[in-house]
Amino acid sequence: MPDIKIFVADDVSESGLGPLREAGFALEKRTGLKGEELAEVLRGADGLVVRSETRVTAELLESAARLRVIGRAGVGVDNIDVAAATQRGVVVMNAPDGNTMTTAEHTLALLLALARRVPEGQASLKAGRWERKRFVGVELRGKTLGIVGLGRIGRVVASRALGFEMKVVAFDPFVAPERLRDEGIEMATLDEVCARADFVTVHAPLTPETRGIIGARELSRMKSGVRVINCARGGLIDERALHDAIREGRVAGAALDVFEEEPPPADHPLLSLSEVVVTPHLGASTREAQEGVAVIVAEQMRDFFLTGAVRGAVNVPAVGAQELKALGPYLGLAERLGRFQAQLLDEPVSSVELEYAGEVAAFDSAPVTRSFLAGLLRNMSARVNVVNALLIAEERGIGVTVAHKHAAAGAEAREPLRTRVATTSGEHTVAGALFGRQGDGRVTEIDGFRIEAVPAGNMLLTRSSDVPGVIGRVGTILGDHGVNISRFHLGRRERGGEAMAVIETDAPPDDSTLEELRAFDPVLSARRISLED
């Protein structure tokens, strides 16, 4: 098929591109192009293959009128404007599992280098010194490894650590503890992992919610002499807080393959510390992994052009154009209800129920269900999207049931979308509906409280006794902490019972604000909700 032209913009394995060449596509590979030069090449391209070097921006996509698919030979799509690609109908594919083993192995390599002070010993010996007594390390056997994020990479790291006779304790709010009892992995809260671990390694996706998941607070809760490893994403660990903790002697050392800014500046404070082992983002840099991810994305792109099959996509719901037009507003509402539900939970999800009524019940609701699950599970794995959300839920042992409630002819459903998420200790229900000609989505009920709120931006969710003075005092506390209220929504079941408030704020309330709110006797709970885009 010589009419299909694919441009390879980064240094992708030549053998990995074999499936595209064998299909008869016209392949052109030139690396290092930027700006107008790259834009000019893409004007005639149907497909684009990249790694992490080339940035695919909205402006670049604007000039690539023929482009139909972007293949990322790797996991992350941080360098691709996925929203802009989706808007232009460009499929974005990646190879989410291709780097699992190599990244896990690199984590173990840094763990051992850190424990046995290998880089320091090598530098000393190459400088002509023989300092055996200076570089005394620690054994892994009998030590506790804390894992933050127990997806595919985290589980491989756990299995290898158990082979070193380490104890493994992990935090992942999307994994039910009973699923791992036979694997020798103990599930715990993040605070417990920090308090118990001798080594802490992070394997979570980088999202607004996970950014800085290991910050000053978490580092202060770790035992003295802990060592920290990050081979996942820069930004998961607060680098300034880590530097301070090492300088103060609370953290014995760190091993970092990733940084918030890559490459890090030459005067980065962590680079000056002998206790810090660093590598230049080598987690996926093995011959096997580079060829593997290239083959995966090449096969996916080949099948897309030959048969229209979509695999490994991060941005395409399987829905026709006509259905998409009708379901579009519900897809957005469902995703936000999922994100809202996720922030109500403190325990792993065991089951999800969705009930559709009215207009949405007349269509195939599967895309809406996937959108809800993608929102609910987005923080547990970098590979969750509307295409694979059902599969991820199945992998995590989350039961998903769907019901359709058809309204009488001419009647409108008050809540076309009702969601129920159950954990080991209880459940939460959140319902939503569309309003106005534009189909603006709103939350209409939370745990039985009738509330109408726009699921967007920063919110504070409180439950309190329905007594005089609560609203005023809550407003005063927020004002004292510099938190401006944009909207206030109140609901209650009966007079004098319990009330719920959804307070939209210009900025998220910090921990001290929440602590003061919770200390106010009538307030039963106060929870931050962030639905920032």
**What is the predicted pLDDT for the residue at 409?**
43
The CATH number linked to 516 is 3.30.70.260
Task: Tell me, yes or no, whether 272 and 123 share the same domain.
Answer: yes
How long, in residues, is the chain?
533
Given the DSSP bridges, would you call strands 399-405 and 349-357 parallel, antiparallel or unpaired? parallel
253 located within any domain: yes
List the domain range (segments joined by +) for residue 216: 100-278
Catalytic residue among 51, 72, 106, 233: 233
Task: Tell me, yes or no, whether 395 and 416 share the same domain.
Answer: yes
Task: Tell me, yes or no, whether 156 and 256 share the same domain.
Answer: yes
Sign of CA dihedral 464, 465, 471, 472: negative
Task: Tell me, yes or no, whether 257 and 120 share the same domain.
Answer: yes
**What is the predicted pLDDT for the residue at 410?**
42
**What is the predicted pLDDT for the residue at 324?**
62
283 located within any domain: no
**What is the predicted pLDDT for the residue at 2?**
52
Query: In the chain, how many H helices and how many E strands?
Result: 16, 22
Catalytic residue among 40, 262, 394, 412: 262
Whether the CB-CB separation of 334 and 108 falls below 8 Å is answered with no
54 located within any domain: yes
Task: Tell me, yes or no, whether 93 and 107 share the same domain.
Answer: no
Could you give the number of structural domains in the chain? 4
In the block, residue with structure tokens 């699921």: 455
pLDDT per residue as tens, the chain (533 positions):
458 999 999 999 899 999 999 999 999 999 999 999 999 999 999 999 999 899 999 999 999 999 999 999 988 788 999 888 877 778 899 987 788 999 999 999 999 999 999 999 999 999 999 999 999 999 999 999 999 999 889 999 999 999 999 999 999 988 877 767 778 999 999 999 999 999 999 999 888 889 999 999 999 999 999 999 999 999 999 999 999 999 999 999 999 999 999 999 999 999 999 999 999 999 988 989 989 999 999 999 998 898 777 778 888 754 554 666 778 789 889 999 999 999 999 889 999 999 999 888 888 788 899 889 989 998 776 557 666 777 788 878 899 999 988 654 444 556 799 999 999 889 999 999 998 777 789 999 999 999 999 999 999 999 999 999 999 999 999 999 999 999 999 998 888 899 999 999 999 999 999 999 999 999 999 999 999 87
312 located within any domain: no
**Nearest one of 415, 331, 427, 311 to 373, comparing CA atoms:** 331
Q: What are phi and psi of 479, to 5 degrees?
A: -65, -40
133 located within any domain: yes
3 state SS for 245-289: HHHCCCEEEEEECCCCCCCCCCCCHHHHCCCEEECCCCCCCCHHH
Q: Would you call 452 a catalytic residue per the annotation?
A: no
Task: Tell me, yes or no, whether 91 and 110 share the same domain.
Answer: no
Task: Tell me, yes or no, whether 108 and 186 share the same domain.
Answer: yes
58 located within any domain: yes
**What is the predicted pLDDT for the residue at 76?**
78
Task: Tell me, yes or no, whether 86 and 19 share the same domain.
Answer: yes
Catalytic residue among 51, 72, 227, 281: 281
**What is the predicted pLDDT for the residue at 382?**
55
CA dihedral (321, 322, 326, 332) in degrees, to 10, reads -10
The CATH number linked to 385 is 3.30.1330.90
Task: Tell me, yes or no, whether 349 and 478 share the same domain.
Answer: no
Q: Would you call 233 a catalytic residue per the annotation?
A: yes
**What is the predicted pLDDT for the residue at 108?**
98
The CATH number linked to 157 is 3.40.50.720
Whether the CB-CB separation of 214 and 237 falls below 8 Å is answered with yes
Task: Tell me, yes or no, whether 112 and 250 share the same domain.
Answer: yes
pTM as predicted: 0.70
Contacts of 501 (CB under 8 A, 6+ apart): 460, 461, 462, 464, 471, 474, 488, 489, 490, 491
Residue 459, token pair as written in the block: 């919110």
Cα 523 to Cα 451: distance, rounded to the nearest angstrom: 18
Task: Tell me, yes or no, whether 117 and 86 share the same domain.
Answer: no
Q: Would you call 370 a catalytic residue per the annotation?
A: no
Task: Tell me, yes or no, whether 349 and 469 share the same domain.
Answer: no
